Amino acid sequence: MIEEVTDQNFAREVEQASMPVLVEFWQPGCGHCLALLRQLEQLHGELGAAVKIVKMNVQENFQIPAELEISSLPALALFEKGTFSRFIGGIGKKDEIRRQLPLA
């Protein structure tokens, strides 16, 4: 199960993480968001502790999505060493997402 993060715990869960973190920005009722979430759950099972994968509901959290200027959903953001690195493309394709991750 992919953990939900909020504006309140984002610093602790993402910015202070010791590993790269992939954040899916989503909202309920978004079919593409749910499809991506299924792919990320599979990827989470395959990667183990190499990359932390979390999700953020943009209907309940406004600060972080606004700071990153999230304008369309779903959006995948990669954080490395606690800092936003880049958005990840290939949404919906776990193999394409994996290719874009900083794996050792």
Does 68 qualify as catalytic in the annotation?
no
CATH number at residue 35: 3.40.30.10
Q: Which of 14, 21, 33, 76 is catalytic?
A: 33
pLDDT at 12 over 90: yes
Is 60 part of any domain?
A: yes
- pLDDT tens, position by position, 83-99: 999 999 767 789 999 99
Residue 104 lies in a domain: no
Domain that holds residue 90: 3-99
| pTM of structure | 0.94
Q: Is residue 93 part of a domain?
A: yes
Q: Does residue 64 sit within a domain?
A: yes
Judged on CB neighbours under 10 Å (0-12, 13-18, 19+), 75 is buried
Question: In this predicted model, what pLDDT tens digit does every residue of 48-88 receive, in sequence order?
Answer: 889 999 999 999 999 999 999 999 999 999 999 999 999 99
User: Considering its fold, how many domains does the chain have in total?
Assistant: 1
- 33 assigned to active site: yes
Question: Residues 30, 37, 70, 101: which is the catalytic one?
Answer: 30
Distance CA 97, CA 48 (A): 15
